[in-house]
Homo-oligomer: A and B are copies of this chain.
Amino acid sequence: MPELPEPMTALLEALRRLPGVGRRSAERIAFHLLKGPKMDALELARAVERAAQLTPCPECFQLSEGGPCPICRDPARDAAVVCVVETPMDLLAIEKSGEFRGRYHVLGGRIAPLDGVGPEALTIGPLLRRVREQKVSEVILATNPDPDGDGTAMFLTKALEPTGAKVTRLARGISSGALMEQANRGVLSDALRARRAV
C-alpha cells in the first residue's frame, strides 16, 4: 500500500517527540509547514539549528552564545548572591521582575524520583564548587513551588550546609492580583503560616 513519503513520516515522528504534541497536532503542524510556500518550515528548521548551537554558560549554565553569559560578565551584578532556578525560562521570569541584581545558577531541571531524574543529572556539583570558591554569601532557592521543586530545594539546603552560605527560599503566599476565593488550600496555608504584622 502506498504510504506517506518517507520525509513526511520522519517529520511526523520528530514532531511527536515534542512535549505536548500528540498524533493529531503533529499532523496539523506538519500540514501547516508544508502547505503553500515553505518559508515557515525553513525558518523553523534554521531557528532550531541555531538555537541548538547555544551552549551553557560555564558559570551559571544559562544558555549562552558562547563563553560566559551577559549576566555573569556584568560586573554590576552582585556575585555574592546566587539565585538557583530550574530552567533558563525561570531565570528569565525572575529577570523580568527587575527585582534581582545578583547572579543565577540554572540547575537544568529538578530532582524527580518518579521520572528517574537524580541529583547527578543536574548542575549541583558546579553550584557547590561555585559557592565555596567565590565567597557566595547567600543562595536563594527559586525552584518551582511544587513537590519536586520543594524536594530539590530540601536536597540543596542540605548539600549547601557545609559551605556556610545563607540559604533562603522565595516567599510563598497568595499571588498578587489573584482572587482569594480561588486560592487553593496549599496557597492559603503557605500564606497563613508566613503571615506578617502590618
Task: Give, as a whole number of angstroms, the nearest-CB distance from A20 to chain B.
Answer: 5
Determine, out of A64-72, A144-152, A161-169, A187-195, the stretch whose residues face the partner at the interface: A64-72
Contact with B along A1-20 (1 / 0, CB 8 A): 11111111011011101111
Chain B residue at smallest Cβ distance from A20:
B25
Q: How many copies of this chain?
A: 2
Complex: how many Å from CA A34 to CA B109? Answer: 12
A contact residues vs B (CB 8 Å cutoff) = 1-8, 10-11, 13-15, 17-21, 25, 27-36, 38, 40-54, 63-65, 69-71, 74, 87-89, 92, 95-96, 98, 108-109
CB-defined contacts of A7 to chain B, threshold 8 Å: 47, 50-51, 53-54, 65
Complex: how many Å from CA A43 to CA B11? Answer: 9
Complex: how many Å from CA A109 to CA B49? Answer: 30
Complex: how many Å from CA A64 to CA B8? Answer: 9
Interchain CB contact under 8 A, B87 and A10: no
CB-defined contacts of A34 to chain B, threshold 8 Å: 51-52, 54, 63, 88
Interchain CB contact under 8 A, A19 and B45: no
Chain B residue at smallest Cβ distance from A49:
B45
Complex: how many Å from CA A29 to CA B92? Answer: 16
